[in-house]
C-alpha cells in the first residue's frame, strides 16, 4: 500500500499488528537513537531493558497518534522519553531495598553505618541529578512546542521584588482555576483577558510575563517532580 507520508501511514496502520511490526523493524535505529539520547549510553537490542521500554513506548505512540499532535517521529520521541523517565523513577523507588552486600569489604567485614549512609546518599543524589537532567530535556522539548526557549525564560525571569510578587500572583491565580489551565494547554495561549479582568493588572504587564507564566504552569501541572522540588517561583 502506498502512503504519501509516514504520518499518514501511522494513522492507517494503528489497528494492524503486522504493519505495526513492520514499522518497528524499519525504525529500530530511530528507537535506539531516542533511547541513547535519554540514557546517555550505547544500547543493544536483547541486552538493555531501556530498549524494551522504548519499543513498548513506540507502539504506544503508534496507537495514540493523530496528525493534530504534529509529526509522528517528534511525537514518538516524546513518548519514548517519558516512558523511560517513568521507568527510571520506578527503579529509583525500588532501589531503597538494596545491596548491602555491595558495602562488604574484602575482609568480609561490613563497613560502618556512616560509610554506608554516605554512599547511599551520594548514589541517591547522583540519581536525582540524572532524573532532573532528563526532566529538563523533556521540558525543553515541551516548551519548544510553545515557541519558548530557556533563553526566553532567562530574559523574562523577574529580577525585582515587586515583579516577582506580580508574577507569583498571576501564577497562583491561573493554577487556582482548572478551567484556565485547560484553556491554556488547549489553545496554547495565556488567558490574558481573564487575568487582566480579575487581578486588575495592565495587559502589557501580563504580556511581559507571558512566557514565564506559561512555563511555570507547564511545570507545576506536568510530570516534572524533580524540577518542581528544585525551583521556587517566587
Closest CA to 217 of 187, 179, 175, 180: 175
Domain's final residue, options 97, 114, 137: 97
**CATH assignment at residue 25:** 1.10.1740
- Give the per-residue pLDDT at 152: 87
93 falls within a domain: yes
pTM of the model: 0.53
Phi, psi for 110 (deg, rounded to 5): -75, 140
Mean pLDDT by 10 residues, the chain (234 residues): 83 89 92 88 86 92 85 90 83 48 38 43 57 81 88 86 90 92 89 91 91 91 77 57
Helix axes of 72-94 and 113-144: crossing angle, nearest 10 degrees: 160
Q: What is the reported pLDDT for 195?
A: 93
Q: Which residue, 97, 112, 142, sits at the end of a domain?
A: 97
What pLDDT, on a 0 to 100 scale, did the predictor assign at position 213? 92
Q: Which residue segment(s) compose the domain that 211 sits in? A: 150-230
Instruction: Give the helix ranges, DSSP H, for the chain.
Output: 6-13, 17-26, 28-39, 49-64, 72-94, 113-144, 150-156, 161-175, 178-187, 192-199, 203-208, 210-221, 225-230
Burial of 194 (0-12, 13-18, 19+ CB in 10 A): middle
The per-residue pLDDT for 233 is 54
How much is the pLDDT for 175?
A: 92
What is the DSSP secondary structure assignment for residue 109, as one 8-state letter? Answer: P
Amino acid at each position: 500500500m502506498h502512503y504519501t507520508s509516514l504520518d499518514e501511514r501511522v494513522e492507517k496502520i494503528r489497528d494492524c499488528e503486522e504493519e505495526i511490526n513492520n514499522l518497528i523493524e524499519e525504525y529500530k535505529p530511530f528507537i535506539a537513537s531516542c533511547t541513547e539520547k535519554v540514557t546517555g549510553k550505547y544500547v543493544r537490542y536483547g541486552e538493555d531493558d531501556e530498549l524494551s521500554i522504548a519499543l513498548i513506548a513506540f507502539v504506544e505512540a503508534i496507537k495514540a497518534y493523530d496528525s493534530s499532535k504534529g509529526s509522528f517521529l517528534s511525537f514518538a520521541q516524546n513518548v519514548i522519553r517519558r516512558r523511560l523517565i517513568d521507568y527510571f523513577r520506578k527503579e529509583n523507588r525500588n532501589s531503597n531495598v538494596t545491596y548491602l552486600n555491595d558495602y562488604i569489604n574484602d575482609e568480609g567485614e561490613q563497613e560502618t553505618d556512616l560509610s554506608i549512609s554516605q554512599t547511599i546518599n551520594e548514589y541517591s543524589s547522583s540519581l536525582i541529578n540524572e532524573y532532573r537532567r532528563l526532566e529538563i530535556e523533556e521540558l525543553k522539548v515541551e516548551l519548544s512546542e510553545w515557541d519558548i526557549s530557556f533563553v526566553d525564560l532567562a530574559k523574562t525571569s523577574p529580577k525585582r521584588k515587586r515583579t516577582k510578587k506580580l508574577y507569583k500572583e498571576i501564577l497562583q491565580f491561573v493554577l487556582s482555576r482548572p478551567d484556565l489551565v485547560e484553556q491554556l494547554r488547549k489553545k496554547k495561549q495565556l488567558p490574558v483577558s481573564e487575568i487582566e479582568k480579575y487581578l486588575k493588572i495592565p495587559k502589557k504587564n501580563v504580556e511581559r510575563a507571558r512566557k514565564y507564566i506559561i512555563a511555570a504552569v507547564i511545570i507545576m501541572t506536568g510530570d516534572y517532580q524533580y524540577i518542581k522540588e528544585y525551583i521556587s517561583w517566587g
